[in-house]
Structure 1
């Protein structure tokens, strides 16, 4: 749930120094996936 008017940002702390925009975007996507997995580990406590 995202409240109306909410804004956020995501910053890669150590972006790749070579490879251009494609490498930068790929690294950003992987870092974001890691963030989401971590959040799900904390919040998803369903017992199967």
Structure 2
């Protein structure tokens, strides 16, 4: 699934995915409150 971010997120950990509002994120896995996604060649976790 592809989601469009409605708010920015700045990574707090090296495994996190930073993004800006409006970025399109390909969601690879959902795990509770944290999802794993990909933007271009960057992959990481972020709060849903």
Alignment TM-score > 0.5, same fold: no
- Quick check: which has more Rg, 1 or 2? 1
- Which gives a bigger RCO, structure 1 or 2 (Cα 8 Å, sep 6+)? 2
**TM-score with structure 1 length normalisation?**
0.23
- Greater strand share, structure number: 2
**TM-score with structure 2 length normalisation?**
0.23
